[in-house]
Amino acid sequence: AGGGRAGPRACGVHNVCRLLTRRAHGFYARDAGVAHRKNLGLLRKIMCQESTKFKNVWTTHSASPIAYERGRIYMDNYQCCISSIAQEPRILYQKSKCAKSEKIEDALLLECPLGEMLPSPSDYKASLIVLTVQNWLLRLSADSGEVLEKVYLAGSCCKFFRYLSWDTPQEVMIVKSAQNKLPAAARQAGIQQTVLFYLAVFQVLPLSFIGMLEINKKIFGNSVTDVAVSNGILIVMYSMGLVRLYNFKAILEQFMEQPFDLGQEFNWNGQVGVVGKYPFGLPCNIKIT
C-alpha cells in the first residue's frame, strides 16, 4: 500500500493534460484548497513553458487603482468597465467623470444565485454593489453601469461608511464605517466617543436590511482597533494583539431592538423618516447591553 501511494510522487509533476483529466474526474473534490492550487498550477505551467509566446494586444492607463472582478476590469474609480474575456478587451460602459462627492470607496461583485425566484428581471444578471463617499449604497448593472437600486446609509449616527465585505459570500453583506474619532478640540473639551464602529448588515438579491450594530467601547473595551464579520463570526481586534470571536447570529437575534425594512416609514428615537432614504438613512437597531 505504501508503494502505491509513493508511485505518483516518484513520477514527478503531472503534465497539464493529466492534471485536467484528474480534475474532471473529481480527484480534488474533497478539498477546495487543493483544487484551487491545482488550477493555479495549470495556469503556471501553461504560461511558463518555453514554447509560450506573449503578444501585447492592448494597453491602457487609469488615474485611480485598477480593479478586476470576474472578467471585468474597472478603471477611473469604476467609471469605466472593460471586458477582458474577448481576444481583445472591449469597453462595456464608460461614464462621464464623477464629482468628488460621488467617489466610490469600495465595491463588491454580486452574481445571481442558482435556482431561486427573484423579484426583478435585473436580479438575474451580474451587478456591482458600490459604496460612495457620501454614504450611498448603489447596485449597478455590471454590463451597463445603470443604477438599479440605491440606499442611503448614514443618518445621525454615522457619517463615514467606507468598507464592503461578505459575511456569507453572495448572500449576506457587511457595510463597515471608518473608526469614529473625535477631533482634538472635542477631546480636549472632555467629550468622549464611546461608539467606535458601525456595521450595517444586508441580505442581497433581493437587497434587504437586516440591521445595524454599533461597536461600543463600553462593551468591547477601549483598545479595539478593528472589527470584521465572516461566516457568522464577529471578529474584534485589539491593540495588544488580542482577537476575540463572537457568534454574530446570536448577537443579531438577542440584541435587535426592532426590525426594519427598506422603504418602511419609522419613528425611532425621536426621528421620523423612511428606512434607506435621504436624509434619515438606516436606524441603529442592534445595541449590545
Q: What is the pLDDT along the chain (289 residues), one digit of tens a residue?
A: 444 444 444 444 557 677 667 666 566 555 656 777 777 888 888 888 888 888 888 888 888 899 988 889 999 999 999 998 878 889 999 988 888 778 999 999 998 877 778 888 888 888 999 999 999 999 999 889 999 999 999 865 566 899 999 999 999 999 999 998 877 776 677 777 789 999 999 999 889 999 999 999 999 998 999 999 999 999 999 999 999 999 999 999 999 999 999 999 988 777 788 999 998 899 999 999 8
Residues 72 and 189 in one domain: no
The answer to whether residue 35 is domain-embedded is yes
The answer to whether residue 287 is domain-embedded is no
Residues 183 and 78 in one domain: no
The answer to whether residue 214 is domain-embedded is yes
How many independent structural domains does the chain possess? 3
Among 39, 73, 97, give the residue marking a domain's end.
97
Residue 121 is given by DSSP the state G
User: 162, 176 in Cβ contact below 8 A?
Assistant: yes
Residues 229 and 148 in one domain: yes
The answer to whether residue 281 is domain-embedded is no
Residues 28 and 41 in one domain: yes
The answer to whether residue 239 is domain-embedded is yes
| Residues 92/93/94/100 CA torsion (nearest 10 deg) | -120
The cell numbers describing 111, all together, are 452574481
User: 289, 213 in Cβ contact below 8 A?
Assistant: no
User: 167, 196 in Cβ contact below 8 A?
Assistant: no
- What domain range is 92 assigned to? 57-97
H/E stretch holding 284 reads none
Residues 233 and 143 in one domain: yes
Q: 191 — phi, psi (to 5°)?
A: -75, 135
Strand-pair category, 195-203 with 208-216 = antiparallel
226 vs 222: CA distance, rounded Å:
12
Residues 157 and 216 in one domain: yes
- The per-type count for the chain, helices as H runs and strands as E runs, is 6, 17
Among candidates 204, 196, 207, which has minimal Cα distance to 275? 207
Residues 81 and 213 in one domain: no
Residues 41 and 167 in one domain: no
Per the listing, cell 480534475 goes with 23
pLDDT at 206: 86
pTM of the model: 0.80
Strand-pair category, 265-268 with 271-274 = antiparallel
68 vs 170: CA distance, rounded Å:
17
83 vs 85: CA distance, rounded Å:
6
Residues 199 and 261 in one domain: yes
Among candidates 286, 225, 229, 222, which has minimal Cα distance to 252? 286
Q: Which residues does 281 contact at the CB level (< 8 Å), separation at least 6?
A: 135, 152, 153, 154, 155, 157, 273
2 vs 210: CA distance, rounded Å:
54
Residues 214 and 177 in one domain: yes
The answer to whether residue 288 is domain-embedded is no
Residues 25 and 160 in one domain: no
The cell numbers describing 210, all together, are 437586516
Residues 149 and 134 in one domain: yes
The answer to whether residue 224 is domain-embedded is yes
The answer to whether residue 5 is domain-embedded is no
